[in-house]
């Protein structure tokens, strides 16, 4: 069974979103996603300052088996990236919800958060 | 998963062990259990057990068995000693590959052939179409055998506690027939597809799970793990072994694949001889090369290889080498290009390919 923390929101593409309360969000991929990918070997993240629309491809996560696109859950500006993933991409397998966060974004429109899935809705599509 | 996929005799054991099952060559197979990298390193450092029961088997029996094989295979079989096996390619007249195979000499007039899963039916039909007047019988034994591969530096230690066969006298590519874990009539060969030492074991299908369980249990204290197809691919790529459909195919001949050593032109006639001889004498349009990348991104099959801004080839296989901790693989590259300046296009970025002549793991 996949771990789906109840304090996060989710997309159908298996990203998680943590609402940080100051108009910013933190984004990563879910436990289900990391298990489906297998051993993660490389993560390509955007530059800080890039503007993303919801559903834009913001990067790539690569495992031994395949490369998969990462989709922005919301619109906004990238304000931080997790550069520790360059050297330790396998953090995504070990701690998908904590240390392996991928980007922080400044929200363009907080209303977009309502379109995301809550933990029980996300659990139901797994 | 699709209902028309075949399942090996070990299917229930894979599910019990928590394997992730995927479709492969018409079979529902374990791609990984604990993780590809962990499984890969278990084989390199300790031991691993693979279910390769999807591989096919055919028995060739009759007075002309050796002569028939010499007529349809690139390698030579009349000279193969009893209880020894030999790797060979089976070619079409144009030099393209029907399959690559290992053939075991069971007696003077009898051989057992190991067939790739995706090619088994095609191979048997092809061999039957070449029977002509040869005094030979071709028997399909695909459903009669479970096949296990026990590979790694501790493989012999583990297997020796489960058999009366004298493994220490068994040379590479030799095989013995006897008991494993109390099951009679097993074929134990010192062969493998990983580059690490070890054995391939043919078990009567109904006893396949029983033997696998015994090996897993006996090997556990030594760190033996069950290994899926994901690590099977990264292990064989490190060792430089071809996989049919990637480095060998109906379009890629053994000469292009760098397997000239399997082609015996000393034989006056065999299917594909004229084409392969011409390729050897006049050269080939493209060749298979091995590469590594100084990057974390893996080049996937089909990715384009460039020399400057000219497309000169494509990636055939690609994975991460857990031993080197960098991407490795193979590419088909048009001959005449400087191999020191090739790049591969990975999602718009051109990365330099480091071409190598020797396998990454020996």
- Residue pLDDT, tens place only, B247-262: 999 999 999 999 999 9
- Across B221-231, average pLDDT: 97
Is A126 a member of any domain?
Answer: no
How far is CA B1 from its chain centroid?
Answer: 26
Contact A93 B298 (CB under 8 A): no
- Beta strand B110-115 with B20-24 is unpaired
Among chain A residues, the shortest Cα distance to B319 is held by A64
Contact A67 B347 (CB under 8 A): yes
Q: B322 to chain A, minimum CA–CA distance in Å?
A: 10
Contact B230 A66 (CB under 8 A): no
Question: Considering its fold, how many domains does chain A have in total?
Answer: 1
Pick the CATH number of B1-243 from 3.40.50.300, 3.30.1360.120, 1.50.40.10, 2.60.120.10: 3.30.1360.120
What's this model's pTM, rounded to 2 decimal places? 0.90
- Predicted pLDDT of residue B296: 86
Cα distance between residue B233 and residue B216, in whole Å: 21
Give the CATH H-level superfamily of domain B260-356: Aminomethyltransferase beta-barrel domains (2.40.30.110)
Beta bridge partners of residue B104, listed in sequence order? B85, B112
Confidence of residue B341 (pLDDT cuts 50, 70, 90): very high
φ, ψ of residue A83 to 5 degrees: the values are: -75, -15
Contacts of B300 in chain A (CB under 8 A): 66-67
Strand order across the beta sheet in which A103-107 lies: A9-10, A15-19, A24-29, A103-107, A76-81, A51-52
Q: Tell me, yes or no, if A2 comes closer than 8 A to chain B by beta carbon.
A: no
Contact B298 A64 (CB under 8 A): yes
Q: For A69-96, what is the HEC assignment?
A: EEECCCCEEEEEECCHHHHCCCHHHHCC
- Residue pLDDT, tens place only, A40-96: 999 999 999 999 999 999 999 999 888 899 999 999 999 999 999 999 999 999 999
CA distances from B88 to A116, B147, B167, B217 (A): 56, 19, 25, 35
CB-based contact B330:B247 (threshold 8 Å): yes
- Predicted pLDDT of residue B3: 62
Beta bridge partners of residue B233, listed in sequence order? none
Q: Tell me, yes or no, if B35 comes closer than 8 A to chain A by beta carbon.
A: yes
Contact B230 A65 (CB under 8 A): yes
Please give the residue range of the domain that contains residue A107: 9-111
Q: Please tell me which of the candidates A41, A44, A93 has its beta carbon nearest to residue B298.
A: A41
- Residue pLDDT, tens place only, B139-161: 999 999 999 999 999 999 999 99
CB atoms closer than 10 angstroms to residue B184: 10
Confidence of residue B4 (pLDDT cuts 50, 70, 90): confident
Among chain A residues, the shortest Cα distance to B297 is held by A42
Predicted confidence (pLDDT) at residue B207 exceeds the cutoff of 60: yes
Cα distance between residue A31 and residue A29, in whole Å: 7
Is A28 a member of any domain?
Answer: yes
Q: Please tell me which of the candidates A38, A67, A93 has its beta carbon nearest to residue B230.
A: A38
The residue extents of the domains of chain B are 1-243, 260-356
Q: At what angle do helices B36-45 and B229-239 cross, to 10 degrees?
A: 50
Contacts of A89 in chain B (CB under 8 A): 296
Is A20 a member of any domain?
Answer: yes
Cα distance between residue B45 and residue B50, in whole Å: 16
Tokens of B227: 């290994």
CATH of the domain at A46: 2.40.50.100
- Predicted pLDDT of residue A37: 92
Among chain B residues, the shortest Cα distance to A69 is held by B347
Q: B317 to chain A, minimum CA–CA distance in Å?
A: 11
């Amino acid at each position: 069974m996949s771990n789906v923390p109840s304090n996060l929101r989710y997309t159908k593409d298996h990203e998680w979103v943590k609402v940080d309360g100051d108009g910013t969000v933190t984004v990563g991929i879910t436990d289900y996603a990391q298990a489906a990918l297998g051993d993660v070997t490389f993560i390509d993240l955007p530059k800080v300052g890039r503007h993303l629309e919801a559903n834009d491809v913001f990067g790539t996560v690569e495992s031994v088996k395949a490369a998969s696109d990462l989709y922005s859950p919301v619109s906004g500006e990238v304000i931080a990236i997790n550069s520790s993933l360059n050297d330790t991409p396998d953090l995504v397998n070990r701690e998908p919800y904590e240390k392996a966060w991928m980007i922080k974004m400044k929200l363009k429109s907080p209303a977009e958060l309502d379109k995301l899935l809550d933990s029980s809705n996300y659990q139901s599509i797994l | 998963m699709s209902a028309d996929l075949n399942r090996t005799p070990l299917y229930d054991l894979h599910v019990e062990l928590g394997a992730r099952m995927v479709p492969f060559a018409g079979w529902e197979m374990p791609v990984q259990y604990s993780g590809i990298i962990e499984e890969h390193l278990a084989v390199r450092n300790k031991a691993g057990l693979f279910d390769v029961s999807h591989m096919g088997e055919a028995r060739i029996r009759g007075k002309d068995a050796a002569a028939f094989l010499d007529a349809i295979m690139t390698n030579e079989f009349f000279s193969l000693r009893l209880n020894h096996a030999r790797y060979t390619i089976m070619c079409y007249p144009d030099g393209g590959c029907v399959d690559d195979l290992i053939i075991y000499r069971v007696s003077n007039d009898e051989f057992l052939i190991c067939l790739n899963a995706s090619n088994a039916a095609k191979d048997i039909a092809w061999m039957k179409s070449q029977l002509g007047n040869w005094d030979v019988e071709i028997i399909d034994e695909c459903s009669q055998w479970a096949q296990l591969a026990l590979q790694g530096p501790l493989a012999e230690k583990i297997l020796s506690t489960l058999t009366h066969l004298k493994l220490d006298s068994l040379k590479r590519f030799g095989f013995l027939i006897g008991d494993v874990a109390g099951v009679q009539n097993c074929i134990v060969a010192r062969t493998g597809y990983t580059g690490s030492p070890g054995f391939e074991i043919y078990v009567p299908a109904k006893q396949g799970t029983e033997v696998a369980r015994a090996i897993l249990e006996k090997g556990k204290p030594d760190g033996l793990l069950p290994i899926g197809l994901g690590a099977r691919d990264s292990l064989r790529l490190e060792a430089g072994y071809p996989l049919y459909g990637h480095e060998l195919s109906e379009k890629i001949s053994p000469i292009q694949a760098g397997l000239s050593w399997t082609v015996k032109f000393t034989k006056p006639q065999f299917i594909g001889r004229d084409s392969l001889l011409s390729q050897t004498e006049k050269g080939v349009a493209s060749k298979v090369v091995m590469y590594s990348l100084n990057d974390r991104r893996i080049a996937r099959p089909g990715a384009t290889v460039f020399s400057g801004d000219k497309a000169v080839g494509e990636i055939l296989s690609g994975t991460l080498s857990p031993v080197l901790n960098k991407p490795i693989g193979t590419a088909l590259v048009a001959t005449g290009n400087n191999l020191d300046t090739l790049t591969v296009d990975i999602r718009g970025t051109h990365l330099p390919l480091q071409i190598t002549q020797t396998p990454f793991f020996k």
